[in-house]
Structure formats: C-alpha cells, structure tokens
Chains A and B, each alone.
Chain A
Amino acid sequence: QVQFQQWGAGLLKPSETLSLTCAVYGGSFSDYYWTWIRQPPGKGLEWIGEIKHSGGSKYNPSLRSRVTISVDTSNNHLSLKLISVTAADTAVYYCARGSDQTPQGAWRSDYYYIDVWGKGTTVTISS
C-alpha cells in the first residue's frame, strides 16, 4: 500500500521559492509517474508536472519556466520547486502517483489515471 508523507514551508512571500518534498512509502518506485498537482482555494485541480524514476519529466506549459520536479531514488523522495511565486500560487499542493497500467497489467499511454494521492500541503503566498 503506497503512502505519502509531504512537508515544506506553508507561508512564503512573493518572489520566494516554494519547495516541497514528498516521501513515498511502500510499493514500487519504478513504472509510475510521480506527480505534483495543486488546487487553489475554492477552485479546481491543476496538474503541475510529473517525473518517472528514471528522471524523465514533463511540466504544465503554463508553469514550465518556473518549476522543477526531481526524484531521489535512494530514499524515494519526490521534490517540487517553484520559483518567483506570487499570490496566484496559493494552493493546496498534492503529491500523487500516476499510472497507465490497465487492470490486466498492460501499459497503455491512453489509460492514464492518478490512483494514490497525498494528503496535501497548504501553501500561502502573502506579503
């Protein structure tokens, strides 16, 4: 049973760097997309980006210039860095596990889903 433990600064000033870490416990670290998603207060979900254990990453085009997602496979830690934050970055940040494995065990790129979510970390940007 995969579980996450998230931590990081919850209050930042504009222009600072947001840094969050997520420890992944249980299950395999390979074959999945380790993902960050955020949700501004009262709004919907926004995909930030993902990384595979091999290091290949993809980012939301709207955030690509400011975001870095990394993974430390020695301790199964997933990290998020977002530079030059503004009030618009205020949100609950979730680490999550993405997969494209079918119930039959095949891997299909059109079968994507997020099956495990962290509890979320509230990050507020305020001067």
Chain B
Amino acid sequence: SSELTQDPAVSVALGQTVRITCQGDSLRTNYASWYQQKPGQAPLLVMYGKNDRPSGIPDRFSGSSSGNTASLTITGAQAEDEGDYFCNSRDSSFNHLAVVFGGGTKLTVL
C-alpha cells in the first residue's frame, strides 16, 4: 500500500499562519482529510474533500491540494489549535481501496 508523509513537527507564533503538508501517491487521485488530536482524546475531523469544513470547525482552517501534496492551513493560529494533526485518504494502489494515514505532525503554537 502507499504511504502518506508528514513533517513530524511544526511551530507557529500565536496569530500567524501555518501550513501542514501531507505527501503521497494516493493524493494524486484521492482527496486528503485532516484530523486534529489532543492528548487523551479521539481525533477530530477538521477538513475533508476539496476544502470542506465540518460544522463547528473555525474558518481559519482551510485545505488545498496540488499533485501528490495536500495542505492544511491555519490562518491566525490560536493556542487551542495546538495538537497533533493527521492526514488520511483512500489508497487506490493494487485496487484495494484501503485507507492510509500520515504519521502525524505535532503543531506547537508559541
């Protein structure tokens, strides 16, 4: 199966903009979805599809994609945005249509 690659850690100053990226062959033909996870909690969907936010997710979160790379951008990062971010998508390799996750990016808001 294919893999999704994320930077292990990213930091951003409070109120600034940060982009978290996810790379993988599956992203050439599948949209990425993004999850935020805080310690001791289940992941929370924050972005999916073309650029779709679930209800309740602030509009400072946005998504984009180009080639084999998907990005989650937080414009005006807040302290509560600190946590781990995971991407995932369908994995179309070998016709399995399985699911793959990125290794996660730890976001620190300074």
Contacts and interface: CB of A to CB of B under 8 A. Distances in A.
Nearest to B49: A111
Given A60-B98, A102-B49, A117 B43 contact: yes
A58 B45 contact: no
Nearest to A60: B98
B42 A112 contact: no
Contacts, number: 72
B102 interface: yes
A94 interface: yes
B86 A45 contact: yes
A110 B30 contact: yes
What's the dominant secondary structure at chain B's contact region? Answer: strand
A118 B103 CA distance: 20
Given A102-B49, A110-B30, A113-B33, A61 B98 contact: yes
Given A45-B88, A112-B30, A120 B42 contact: yes
A90 B98 CA distance: 22
Nearest to B91: A47
Given A111-B31, A111-B49, A117 B97 contact: no
6 closest Cβ pairs, A-B complex: A113-B33, A113-B48, A117-B42, A47-B99, A45-B101, A44-B104
22 contacts: A37-B101, A44-B104, A45-B86, A46-B101, A47-B88, A58-B97, A61-B1, A61-B96, A61-B98, A94-B42, A94-B43, A111-B31, A112-B30, A112-B31, A112-B88, A112-B99, A113-B48, A113-B49, A114-B45, A117-B42, A117-B44, A119-B42
